[in-house]
Amino acid sequence: MGTDGKVIGLVASPNRTGRTDQLVAAALNGAARAGAPTELIQMADYVVAACKDCLPWVCKDNLKCTYEDEAFEYLSRQILTCGALVLGTPVYWWDTSGLAKYLILKMFRIYALSAPLQGLPAFGIAIAGGTGNGLVSGLRPVYHFFQMMQMRAIEPLPATRFNFEAAVERADKLGEKTAAMADQRLPFAGLEERLLWYDALPYLSLSRAAERRLLAGLAIQALPSPENTANALGLARADALSAAGKSLDSLIEVTRVYEAGVKAFEEKQ
C-alpha cells in the first residue's frame, strides 16, 4: 500500500472531548503548520474486537482478520497508508486504554511478521489525568507497538493535569516534528539499530521510583515561587538520599513533595 503523506491522530479514549482529544488535536495542529494533511480519528467510533489468536495462523499470510471487524479494517488501512502516526491514550490504572490495546494486539497478530510499517514516523502521548500515576507506564505499550512494528518513533509525551498546558504546547511542537518526517519512511538497518534507537528515547526506561520522582516534579511545577522552591528543595533532598543508597527514604520524601504539590494545585483550581 502506498502512503498518502497524511499525519493521522488516533484518540484512544472513549471520551471524545477530553484531554486525550485536546493533546492529539494539538499535535495535529503542529503537523498542519508544518504543511502536512492531517486527520483526527476517534477510536470510540472504531472499537476493535479482541483478537481470538485463532489457529491455523492464516491472517499473517492473508493480511486480514478471519473474522469480520470493520473497525479494525478501517483503522489498519488508515495506519498502513499514512505518512505519520500520532497515538494518544488516556492512562487507566497506570496503563494504556483498552481501545488502544485491542488495536495493537490485532495489528501484531496480522502485521508484525510482514512488518509493513517499517520506518513510519510515530509519536505517542499518554495523559494521566487523575493522580498522575502511570504517566510513563501508560506510554510503554504504545512505544512497544511502535518498536515491534519497526516504526521510527520520536520522543514520547507523558502528560498530567498538573502540566497540562505545557503538555499541549509540547504536543504541538512534537506534532510538527513528526510531520517534518512524514514525507518518507526510514526503516532501520537492522534489529540492533532499532533497539538502540528505542533505548535512547527519554522516559521509557525509568524505574517506578524515577517515574514517581518525575511526577512529583510536574506536580509542583505549576505552584508559585515560594511553594515551588520549598518543594524543589524536598526533591533535592530526595535525590541526595537516593544517591546515598537510601532508596526507601528518598521515595518517601518524593511522595511528601508530590502530596504537597497536589494539595496546593487543587486549592488553586
Ligand X SMILES: Cc1cc2nc3c(=O)[nH]c(=O)nc-3n(C[C@H](O)[C@H](O)[C@H](O)COP(=O)(O)O)c2cc1C
Q: Which residues bind ligand X (CB under 6 A)?
A: 13, 15, 18-21, 90-94, 127-134
Identity of the residue, 70 or 259, whose beta carbon is nearer to ligand X in the bound complex = 259
3-class secondary-structure state, position 47: coil
Report the chain's C-alpha Rg in angstroms.
Answer: 20
Least distance in Å: CB of 155 to ligand X?
20
Least distance in Å: CB of 88 to ligand X?
8
Beta strands in the chain (DSSP E): 7-11, 38-42, 84-90, 121-128, 152-153, 157-160
Identity of the residue, 194 or 213, whose beta carbon is nearer to ligand X in the bound complex = 213
Identity of the residue, 8 or 218, whose beta carbon is nearer to ligand X in the bound complex = 218
Neighbours of 119 (CB within 10 A): 16
Least distance in Å: CB of 73 to ligand X?
25
Identity of the residue, 127 or 153, whose beta carbon is nearer to ligand X in the bound complex = 127
Q: Which of 117, 108, 89 is nearest to 14 (CA)?
A: 89
Identity of the residue, 10 or 91, whose beta carbon is nearer to ligand X in the bound complex = 91
Query: What's the CA gap between 238 and 241, in Å, rounded?
Result: 5
3-class secondary-structure state, position 95: strand
Least distance in Å: CB of 250 to ligand X?
22
Least distance in Å: CB of 14 to ligand X?
7
Cell 518543594, located at residue: 231
